[in-house]
């Protein structure tokens, strides 16, 4: 009765997080994990923290082989670099698998935009029409029907979940959106590059990818979809010395002008109502109340995103802040959440 | 020939940094350091890292006593909480000392604004007219004549230095300014509060003081002075797990609209020229070139501030980024820089 | 059918960890959490990371009241300072509860030794005879019968689990034992003291409590029990800038002298056999193989302890290394493990 | 009148630290810095933190060329991997330079031991007889006469400085020495290897190189020299998440047995007298008094080593603890100290 699942590219940080989530998921069996560099090694050797799990000694990394995987698994997660993921998605879909891709390959509908931001031709443009952007709180119904899910990027999740309800409700001017994001170093992946050495990151904070980070493409596409118009936004990522966590601060111009504190309070009630209606029943969105502000330490290791907002009566701006674990709600947890929806499991299965 | 200097409140982080800077300053003798809690103890005991300095065993903390200090010292640094600093400034000035105050007490010209942001009456409003805001790159001439210097806050320095030249040159709309700042934990001072415990800060990032942090008052006053009009801005501070360093990202609307990349490039030349004219010869302002972006690790332990900017032709916005050491350029180093100017020492004395 | 459990002193780091473990434990209901400072507040407010749990809004901290707790709960965990814990243990035991104490109050059999190390008279010496030292891998049978469990300290767990099998098997000279331990800062508790501020701990490593740390008393009592003779050992704790984790390195003189590499290899087989026999089937002890050495990052967040050893043919010494999470296997996880044994639950319930 | 100095291999962490020390040294001119990967680039570009120095724009990295360097420089520092350093030392010495080598190539007198620990033949065994081990507090007189200095390793410095006086004075049994050391990650060098990525080191602590780390060879050779007999010791290095700093804890058997606290106190006076006689006037050795224990944060960025000791009357052992900055006293600072001695500069020049 359990679904058989596999992970292609299980040796990176997102892959490792997926392994952990799927090993303890009540409704799936993890039947294959692939990794070119670790092929032949048991899971317990490469990731000692899973060594207590009964499957960790028997389950060995294999070379990735789409044909073989298509026979072994019902659902295949791709935790691969962009460009490479598509190579596996095509044969796996043909082989009858459901594919949940954590790369950027199927997040955009437009192959031209993909080329603009990723600097190479899209490897499988025909699939773009059928893929579903796997942000469950926004696209739950499409996810139920999907065979190819493009799981969102970590930064986009931290920006889109707080922004989309406001944009849809026309409470803010979407063109005004400025997103200032702070990410832990695991967001860079397990790449042995000097920039990500301990000594280079510790006691350091720095912006990067200014002003045109690749994640802008999917953020803008999703915001445009929500707004019903083409939206261009500002986004600045920063690297901070934590392992995990993204903290995003959004600056937005409210659609209404409020002349005084009373006007701001009335508008604030609309914001509050909008968020309650959108997320009041969502299991993984935590709307903060009172004086509380998001803090990554409250969400690390969980699939939750914290959201809080403040209206600034002095400037007339709305500030919205979010915190998530970049490897869970920003990557692997969200991918499992999509799988749960798609497979008809309880949406929180394996995630609480 | 050396000036005699004293530090009131030398046991906090800014005070400790001042001790280090003044001990190795070639033109001053550190004659007194005060601390209620450490009175009687030699410097070497409280701050072992200074134990190699010949003065560290003989120099002992004393109880603060303004009358006595006025007789001992030519220049007195106040590294005290706001509200308390003014109590010492009045008798020290009457006693003929130059006073360099690192607190917020004399940074604002308007006692009402002080009360609005600091929640108590100003303790010495008569002095506000004579105090000079100690940002050397902006107010060097007034500093030369000052007897009371209000050394700027750490966040304000990181925002004002990149913003003021653009505002003065009318290259940006100052009302559009959004400042998103990330600070190391020493900015909170050596306060034994649960929020600043290692476990609460490590592997955490969080905004705070949203949307009306106290530092807004001096930022807005200085920007208003530069703009010749009352300016209100947006400012969001965040706490990140590093000991030292502030990274600020500014979002600004250029005064000109540029229709395309060529227009942006032409406007960019104006920005570059403005910064070169303002800071090309400043010893402590480092204008980054090429692909380089600010990184706090490049400035920690120095009095330098790094500044870089990018025009975003997609959004029409200007992004300016700065990095400084909050305890040096953001506090004690800048205070020493002001002393150097005021006393006629080379401006970089003791700071390189 | 579920056991009702309560936590007295649930606002410290061990208490918080216990809350998390017991909220998701399949065989218990967490019916009460006490905290003087947080009384009246819902769990979700004080610990936002538990806010997604259905009980977190309804369950509020209460003032600790032993009589009331005795009526509410079957099992009560005490996460209190030493000296205070005993005050609650007495009435709770009289009220029919099982008590699992995470403090040092009931770890020693000898009230004189308690006074020597804790500097006050033992508050309930009559209970010392009946309490059981809750190290499941060593005292599982006694735990099954216990009503009062003294859960071991974090350092002792990291030292005793690797050492006791060797001592019992007389493979090492127990008097030779030197334990050099490195602990994360959460080991100091949620105390707002300057020594544990972020800036004081980050980029710092330091020994403390040299040479007579309090934990020596229980380490030596347990080792003496294992050896059948009074044992005195060396123990040096150090504070390192991580939130969680203890890494202990033990230096031991083998009971046999080996003249060459071949002799060392034969003796090594005895060590390996001893560990396999002691821990080969233990769910929470991970004996490392091959080149692997313990790393706290492999055990943080789990109830596992990693153990590896090396014989040094050059010096004739045995080096044993262990890694654990000080808040889980070193505190709250181990306490839950004891509860599982005592209550007849599967020993790993709620811990994997 | 200034000496001309060059650094071969200036792009690693020790090389970078040397650049900083030599740029601000009052008696030398830094005339060349070499780096294969950075050849052609100005210093300011590769190390922005030196950008404020007047030489940083003009001084460019060059390809290493021993003949050319021999013409340019009086003193050449080699900050190269072992094996490679010797290739440069030979022609530089022939060209008349003084060579200060920070690698392991000339630290041992015995080429066989070198091969045993470094796994390749010694590249220039003829030079071993003339090289001087550059530990100034121990070998100051030989350093004065040297033309080839082998600057000690970071771990050896932290162990030898506290141990040698006790061994020479026969106050301890040198065979009993156990050294447990904790090092910051910069000790691993600027190597882009997965083990040293931020995410792999942060929130982690682990032993490595157990039980036969390469540094043992020079530690044992120097201890044997001090003892007048061949000494074999125990040494366990650990990696902890700080950028800089080594904390070493030494366990030693006193040469005398003390029966009680009074005996221990008498023996303690001998220890204290020994350290005072050895280091009481050393500018870079800080003997801690009272309750103080070493802490790396007190020495980071300085050439100081902190030493404290405790006699344990319970176990009869002597515990000695030291703290140093691995890149300064443990590498580049100590190399400059040797240069100062050798060149007749004040020993503290450029180091305070």
- Strand C234-239 with C172-183, pairing: parallel
Spell out which residues of chain D touch residue B299, defining contact as CB-CB under 8 Å.
49
Closest chain D residue by Cα to residue A204: D243
D351 CA: distance to closest CA in chain C (Å): 21
- Strand B317-324 with B246-254, pairing: antiparallel
Cis peptide bond prior to D168, omega within 30° of 0: no
Q: Do A200 and D198 touch (CB under 8 A)?
A: yes
Residue C126 in contact with partner chain B when CB distance is under 8 A = no
Residue A174 in contact with partner chain B when CB distance is under 8 A = no
pLDDT digit string, tens, across residues D282-318: 999 999 999 999 999 999 999 999 999 999 999 999 9
Residue A210 in contact with partner chain C when CB distance is under 8 A = no
Residue B299 in contact with partner chain D when CB distance is under 8 A = yes
Would you call D225 exposed, middle or buried from its count of C-beta atoms within 10 A (0-12, 13-18, 19+)?
A: middle
Residue B293 in contact with partner chain D when CB distance is under 8 A = no
Task: Report the pLDDT averaged over residues D113-117.
Answer: 97
* pLDDT of the residue at B163: 98
- The question of whether D97 is a catalytic residue gets the answer no
* pLDDT of the residue at C26: 97
Spell out which residues of chain B touch residue A297, defining contact as CB-CB under 8 Å.
200, 203-204, 206
Are residues C145 and C254 in contact, defined by beta-carbon separation less than 8 angstroms?
no
| DSSP per residue, C222-240 | HHHHHHTS----EEEEEE-
Which pTM was predicted? 0.97
Query: What is chain D's mean pLDDT, rounded?
Result: 97
Candidates C97, C154, C201, C343; catalytic one: C154
Closest CA relative to residue B93, chosen from B33, B146, B152, B134: B146
Question: Could you give the percent of chain A with pLDDT greater than 70?
Answer: 100
Residue B232 in contact with partner chain A when CB distance is under 8 A = yes
In this prediction the ipTM stands at: 0.97
Closest chain A residue by Cα to residue C51: A286
User: How far is residue C304 CA from its own chain's centroid?
Assistant: 12
Closest chain A residue by Cα to residue B211: A312
Task: Report the pLDDT averaged over residues D186-202.
Answer: 97
State the CB neighbour count (10 A cutoff) for residue B228. 11
pLDDT digit string, tens, across residues B249-278: 999 999 999 888 899 999 999 999 999 999
pLDDT digit string, tens, across residues A204-245: 999 999 999 999 999 999 999 999 999 999 999 999 999 999
Rounded to whole angstroms, the Cα distance separating C332 from C151 reads 8
* pLDDT of the residue at B260: 85
pLDDT digit string, tens, across residues B88-124: 999 999 999 999 999 999 999 999 999 999 999 999 9
Q: Do D286 and B49 touch (CB under 8 A)?
A: no
* pLDDT of the residue at C114: 97
D319 CA: distance to closest CA in chain A (Å): 30
Candidates B97, B154, B201, B274; catalytic one: B154
- Residue A319 binned pLDDT confidence (cut-offs 50, 70, 90): very high
* pLDDT of the residue at A352: 87
B276 CA: distance to closest CA in chain A (Å): 21
pLDDT digit string, tens, across residues D129-146: 999 999 999 999 999 999
* pLDDT of the residue at D259: 82
Q: Do C284 and A52 touch (CB under 8 A)?
A: yes
A222 CA: distance to closest CA in chain C (Å): 27
* pLDDT of the residue at A126: 96
* pLDDT of the residue at A240: 98
* pLDDT of the residue at B261: 86
- Quick one: residue D203, left, alpha or beta (phi over 0 = left, psi -120 to 50 = alpha)? left
Tokens standing for residue B214: 């106290």
Per-residue exposure over D83-120, b if at least 16 CB sit within 10 Å of its own CB, e if not: bbbbbbbbebbebebbbbbbbbbbbbeeeebbeebbee
Give, to the nearest 10 degrees, the angle between helix A136-145 and helix A154-168: 100
Q: In the complex, which subunits touch D with 3 or more CB pairs below 8 angstroms?
A: A, B, C
SS3 C291: coil
Spell out which residues of chain D touch residue A198, defining contact as CB-CB under 8 Å.
185, 196-198, 200-202, 241, 243
Spell out which residues of chain A touch residue C45, defining contact as CB-CB under 8 Å.
290, 292
- Residue D81 binned pLDDT confidence (cut-offs 50, 70, 90): very high
Q: Do A297 and B240 touch (CB under 8 A)?
A: no
Spell out which residues of chain A touch residue B300, defining contact as CB-CB under 8 Å.
203
Residue C302 in contact with partner chain A when CB distance is under 8 A = yes
Output the 3-class SS for B86-135.
Answer: HHHHHHHHHCCCEEEECCCCCCCCCHHHHHHHHCCCCCCHHHHHCCEECC
* pLDDT of the residue at B224: 98
Are residues D122 and D73 in contact, defined by beta-carbon separation less than 8 angstroms?
no
Q: Do A243 and D198 touch (CB under 8 A)?
A: yes
SS3 C210: coil
Q: Do D249 and C236 touch (CB under 8 A)?
A: yes
Which of B49, B56, B325 should be substituted to probe chain D, the one whose Cβ sees the most D Cβ atoms within 10 Å? Answer: B49
Residue B292 in contact with partner chain A when CB distance is under 8 A = no
Residue pointed to by tokens 């649930």: C10
Low-confidence stretches of chain C (pLDDT beneath 50): none
CA distances D287 to C4, D140, D290, Å, are 56, 19, 10
C216 CA: distance to closest CA in chain D (Å): 11
Residue A240 in contact with partner chain D when CB distance is under 8 A = no
Count contacts between B and D (CB, < 8 Å): 46
Q: Do A203 and B251 touch (CB under 8 A)?
A: no
pLDDT at A258 over 90: no
Cα Rg of chain D (Å, integer): 20
Spell out which residues of chain B touch residue C243, defining contact as CB-CB under 8 Å.
198-199, 202-203
Phi–psi pair at D333, nearest 5 degrees: -65, -45
State the CB neighbour count (10 A cutoff) for residue D208. 14
Q: In the complex, which subunits touch C with 3 or more CB pairs below 8 angstroms?
A: A, B, D
Listed in sequence order, the residues at least 6 apart from D219 whose beta carbon sits closer than 8 Å to its beta carbon are D155, D156, D159, D160, D179, D233, D235
* pLDDT of the residue at B1: 84
Closest CA relative to residue A190, chosen from A338, A17, A8, A2: A17
Tokens standing for residue D277: 């006689």
Rounded to whole angstroms, the Cα distance separating B142 from B150 reads 12
Task: Report the pLDDT averaged over residues D213-228.
Answer: 98
Residue A193 in contact with partner chain C when CB distance is under 8 A = no
Rounded to whole angstroms, the Cα distance separating C311 from A166 reads 64
- Residue A260 binned pLDDT confidence (cut-offs 50, 70, 90): confident
pLDDT at D261 over 90: no
Residue C245 in contact with partner chain D when CB distance is under 8 A = yes
Residue of D24, D51, D298 lying closest to B49 (CB–CB): D298
Residue spans of alpha helices (H) in C169-230: 198-201, 215-227
pLDDT at A36 over 90: yes
Phi–psi pair at D171, nearest 5 degrees: -85, -15
pLDDT digit string, tens, across residues A82-105: 999 999 999 999 999 999 999 999
Task: Report the pLDDT averaged over residues B190-219.
Answer: 97
Q: Do A199 and D190 touch (CB under 8 A)?
A: yes
pLDDT at A259 over 90: no
Output the 3-class SS for C79-116.
Answer: CCCCCCHHHHHHHHHHCCCEEEECCCCCCCCCHHHHHH
A67 CA: distance to closest CA in chain B (Å): 41
Tokens standing for residue A73: 């698994």
């Amino acid at each position: 009765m359990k679904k058989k699942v596999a992970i292609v590219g299980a040796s990176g940080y997102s892959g490792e997080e997926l392994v952990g989530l799927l090993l303890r998921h009540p409704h799936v069996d993890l039947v294959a994990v692939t990794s070119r560099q670790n092929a032949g090694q048991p899971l317990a050797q490469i990731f000692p923290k899973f060594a207590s799990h009964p499957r960790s000694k028997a389950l060995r990394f294999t070379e990735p082989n789409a044909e073989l995987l298509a026979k072994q698994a019902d659902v295949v997660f791709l935790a691969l670099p962009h460009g490479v993921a598509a190579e596996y998605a095509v044969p796996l879909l043909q082989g009858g698998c459901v594919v949940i891709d954590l790369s950027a390959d199927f997040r955009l509908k437009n192959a031209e935009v993909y080329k603009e931001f990723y600097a190479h031709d899209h490897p499988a443009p025909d699939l773009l029409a059928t893929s579903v952007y796997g942000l469950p709180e926004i696209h739950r119904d499409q996810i139920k029907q999907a065979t190819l899910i493009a799981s969102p990027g970590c930064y986009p999740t931290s920006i889109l979940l707080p922004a989309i309800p406001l944009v849809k409700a026309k409470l803010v001017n979407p063109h005004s959106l400025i997103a200032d994001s702070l990410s832990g170093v695991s967001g860079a992946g397990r790449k042995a590059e000097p920039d990500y050495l301990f000594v280079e990151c510790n006691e350091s904070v720095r912006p990067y990818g200014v002003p045109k980070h690749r994640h802008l493409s999917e953020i803008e596409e999703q915001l445009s979809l929500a707004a019903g118009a083409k939206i261009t936004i500002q986004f600045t990522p920063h690297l901070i010395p934590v392992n995990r966590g993204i903290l995003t601060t959004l600056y937005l111009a409210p659609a209404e002008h409020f002349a005084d504190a009373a006007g701001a309070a009335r508008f604030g009630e609309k914001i509050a109502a909008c968020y309650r209606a959108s997320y009041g029943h969502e299991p993984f969105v935590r709307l903060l109340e009172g004086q509380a502000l998001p803090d990554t330490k409250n969400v690390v290791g969980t699939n939750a995103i914290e959201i809080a907002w403040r209206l600034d009566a002095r400037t007339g701006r709305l500030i919205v802040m979010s915190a998530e674990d970049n490897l869970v709600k920003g990557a692997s947890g969200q991918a499992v959440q999509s799988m749960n929806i798609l497979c008809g499991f309880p949406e929180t299965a394996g995630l609480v």
